[in-house]
Structure 1
Amino acid sequence: MIRKALLVIIILATVSLAAVTLILTPTLGNYFALIIGDDGVNYSPDPGDLTPPIISGHEKAFEKKPVARSTIPSGYEIESKYFYGKFYQNSDEVIEMQISNLGDNAIFVYGFGLKGPNGISKYDNGYLIEAGDSEKIGLVAFEVPGKDQFSLTPYIYLMAQTESNNWYDYGLQEFKTLEFEAERAPAEVQNPYYSNPPHYFKMVNDRVNGTDPLVRTTAESASSKYSGEYNIYQLCSLFDYLATNVEYVSDPNESDYWATPEETIYAGTGDCEDYAFLMASMVESVGGSSRIYLTDDHAFAAAYLGKTNETDESIEAISEYYNSAPVYYFTDSYGSWIILDASSGMYAGDLPAGAAPISTGWTFLNQTNVTVIDVYQ
């Protein structure tokens, strides 16, 4: 099973006394009218059984910025890391930024962004990072220019704690300019889609389990910041939890073991289908509707967002949650399904492994077919 490669750049900094993109895929048609088991019974779910997330009144929560009471710089030592995938020209992309505090005193990051050829991306946040700790402070979205090479300058807004436990505000602190390469966007690939072949339908639905007590407890804990009726912020929190707390580990050579969601939670490891089954199970456990996509060499989950003409606000809210990141999804006659590839994506709505953005949306690469398995709970 493949996993999208993420590249990492590390920069050390020391100071002594630092728009929503809505993207649709081609319509995939009606995947339902499946056959369950060997008795030849056709099953067509009622669209009313599909549950979309609501847009709740929650806001993304950050720690409160300290009051700067010191006028004397305290000094700091930090390390920055950047996580990103392959870049394509004239596309909307993201970089994830991580800050490590290598100094002796706490630091507080209250903003970050990138300066690039197409302008400045800036986002507010609030992260207290104790000495010796690291924190992923968020995603930065930007537009890749239409050329082979480009540069970006990352920056943060930073405060550092003094020996007297007061705070000094350093304000804007820039890091070293980064150089990147971008490929031309690929041509669109038209893949055949297969819906719910009985063998795979049974195998997948034997694994996905939204009623398991451990799955429910894990999902409730992961989404507890955004309590209440099933909502898009719970969906994003579930993805973030899984991407952060489960480590990708491949199965042994010539073996493809499909772990149960409970096994993946206990082990804290899994490969792409294990991520997919646990992701779908957690979505189901909080009241959502999910499905699994299988390609030649990958598996990932997706969640129902609602009827296509009613999902713009949900997609915009998800993009805003991730600092204007582009949100990718499937469409069919039932509506839109957001991609949840926690084994390789950086956020809910990121492209799955083995895919790339194009001018009309996105496309799979080097796949002969795609199989869609609907979760039947």
Structure 2
Amino acid sequence: MTPPVDDVLVRSLVPGVLGVLVRRGADFAAAEDAVQEALVEAVRSWPTTPPREPTGWLVTVAWRKFLDATRAETTRRRREETVADEPPSGPVPSADDTLQLYFLCAHPSLTPPSAVALTLRAVGGLTTRQIAAAYLVPEATMAQRISRAKRTVSDVRFNEPGDVATVLRVLYLVFNEGYSGDVDLAAEAIRLTRQLAAAVDHPEVAGLLALMLLHHARRAARTAPDGSLVPLAEQDRGRWDTALISEGVQVLQAALARGRLGEYQAQAAIAALHADARSAADTDWVQIVEWYDELVRLTGSPVVRLNRAVAVGEADGPRAGLAALASVDASVPRFAAVQAYLHEKDGDRTTAARLYAEAAALAGNAAERDHLTRQAARLNSP
């Protein structure tokens, strides 16, 4: 039986191949289309005739695809005057354009959904069908989104400096999508962030990688066999991935040692404290509140203030948590759920049940809605 192509290996080569084509004069949109066609050829031919040098093979095939498409255009003569003849196959120069590709795909002119889709396609090497399935939208809709994104960045110079913070936000959005369809977006986000960490020496890149690893380590314990959510305090910590936790802590410690604290490092530090506790009762909530104070200072985010109120409620009691919650805008997502939780801890079951029901009506997904509905029913039952 013919062994299948290593999909992750093939996709890891995409940024380098795309970068080579752009450096040779191909515009980004045409180069990205050519690379996707080369990937299709690789999936078809590599199982029976694997190449000695996969990157060189992909560059050669993608360049041919680009030239074929260029020659088919009505502007053939003008374009061919600026396009070099096909270079020989073989080892590819070791220029790493990965970082520039990240910057391009997370360009400020793109909306967050478009930046995410373009990153998954151009840097991640996913097909339009895979991305559409992951986001539960029709393939035609995703194709239009990606096409618009490519047109938007088509005039951006490939060597323009970019913003690491924007790239990290895009990767964080990918990670938070989790899993749907045949592509595990959480695992894909970790792979891409590892790739970015290899291309740029930045403590916040390491902080985001640590945060992803520490959150992903708890994935197996987050849902019950029936698919329902399991809150952190009730999770079976024996199911947490200790290897991922260990790696995440090591990455975080190295980032913090550089003395350039950022929001992802602070979030990862909170996740590490949760991972370090043998049980929910052993959690160092006082230190977690201190890290949330740092996050508030760094970001001023109302979501951070909401989560800080929970931590204050655990460290200093539910009434202190409710006092901290009073400074948070009630329109912030999950406000009612946090309010319900703190009222229940304070012994006010009637108010908590009502608030859990309100939170369920506002929930953003079915799993969260079902969990909050069950919480309200539990408190309403005799």
Larger Rg: 2
> If the length of structure 2 is used for normalisation, what is the TM-score?
0.24
Structure with higher RCO (Cα < 8 A, 6+ apart):
1
Choose between structure 1 and 2: higher strand proportion: 1
Choose between structure 1 and 2: higher helix proportion: 2
